[in-house]
Structures are given as C-alpha cells and as structure tokens.
Amino acid sequence: MTDDIHRFDDHSLPSDDFGLRAPCASDIDAITQACRDALTQKWLPLPNPYRWADAQRYVEEFAPSQLASGNGIVRVIEVDGEVAGVIDLKKTDWRAATTEIGYWVAPAYRGKGLAGRASALLADWALREQGMQRVEIRAAVGNIGSARAAKAAGFGYEGCLRSAGFTHAGRVDLEVYGRTVEDLARREA
C-alpha cells in the first residue's frame, strides 16, 4: 500500500571507526545505563529516574513511530559492536525540507569527536540523499560540549532562542546551529 507520507529511508550509515544503525532490543541495557548518566540527565529532559522500560519504549515504540510518521529517524552510534550513543533527526518538516539533529554520547565514548562526526555524517545524508535543504542543532546555552560538536560538524552559529527549551532544572535558552545544502555546495566549490 502506498500513502502520501514522506519518510526517511531506513538506512545504516557506515563511517571509518563508527556506524549509524537502527536501534534494536539488545541495545536497551546500554541505552538505559547511558540515559541515567548525570550529564545526559542534566541537558536532556529524559524521565528521571530512567527505567529499563523507558529505554524499551524508546527502542520498540518511539523509534519505529518516528520513522513511520515521517517525523524523523533514530540511529544508534555503534563503535566496535557497542552502543556509543544515539543520534536522531526529529521535528522534520517535509514541505519546508527542514529537520533537527539531537544526540547523546555514552560517558566512555565522550571527547573523541564522535558527536561531531556522527552529526556531519547524518546531516550530509539528509541533505544529499533525503531531500532536506536545512538541518539544525539546538543546544542549551552552557552546553559547551554540544555547541563544540555542532561547530565541529560544520554547523554555523545563527542565534539564540529565548526560553525555547527545558531541562529538569528549568527553562533554557537555545543556541541554534545550522547547515544547509548551500553550505555543502560552498564546501565543494
């Protein structure tokens, strides 16, 4: 049966020393552990306490529904067969051809450039192969690691949205970083 809903292709994306692939049931333990981490809990409004059933729902319900509805796509960042993090496209507007990247990296894998490289890979794919014109990353003011990862991925700082997000500590201003099809063309010129 065909329908009019636009969706991302359910692809795995390989890279040199990591890959992006669909989440599966055997990832639930690792996702549970990483989502209990203090830094992840500080910047992402995840359930607290974070239970195994939260990760199970994320893998078995949320991720497939994002893909099926066209709202986005969830990929595990895999390193040496392990879950090193999760990255996704979300809030996709197919008419405007815009989407937003979100991510976390598990504590043992931080500081190796993984979030930046995974973001560059996913953004390139969305812009080159999935018809997106613009990808953005929004990082809470003060989330230095996320801001640096966005810049490392080739996203440019565009401004700050007041009270646009929330964490467990309260509302936060969000810095916006963007990357467009024109940026790709400029890089290749």
Ligand X SMILES: CC(C)(COP(=O)(O)OP(=O)(O)OC[C@H]1O[C@@H](n2cnc3c(N)ncnc32)[C@H](O)[C@@H]1OP(=O)(O)O)[C@@H](O)C(=O)NCCC(=O)NCCS
Smallest distance, Å, CB 3 to ligand X?
Answer: 32
Nearer to ligand X, 43 or 125 (CB): 43
Residue closer to ligand X by CB (options 19, 116) is 116
Looking at residue 145, its amino acid is G
CA 44 distance to own-chain centroid: 12
| Contacting residues toward ligand X, per CB under 6 A | 39-40, 43-44, 103-105, 110-116, 139, 143-146, 148-149, 152
Least distance to ligand X from the beta carbon of 95, Å?
A: 25
Q: Report whether 132 contacts 98 (CB < 8 A).
A: yes
Region of 91 (left: φ > 0; alpha: ψ -120 to 50; beta: rest) is left
Q: How far is the CB of 27 from ligand X (least distance, A)?
A: 16
Contacts of 128 (CB under 8 A, 6+ apart): 184
Cβ proximity to ligand X, 5 vs 171, nearer residue: 171
Q: Which is nearer to ligand X, 4 or 89 (CB)?
A: 89
- Shortest Cβ 2–ligand X spacing (Å): 36
How far is residue 36's CA from residue 173's CA, in Å, rounded to a whole number? 24
- Closest-by-Cβ residue to ligand X is 145
Closer residue to ligand X, CB minimum distance, 44 or 59: 44
For the bound state, the minimum distance from the C-beta of residue 155 to ligand X, rounded and expressed in Å, comes to 12
3-state DSSP: the chain helix, strand, coil percent, rounded to 5?
Answer: 40, 35, 30
Task: Find all residues with CB under 8 Å of 1, minimum gap 6, and list them.
Answer: none
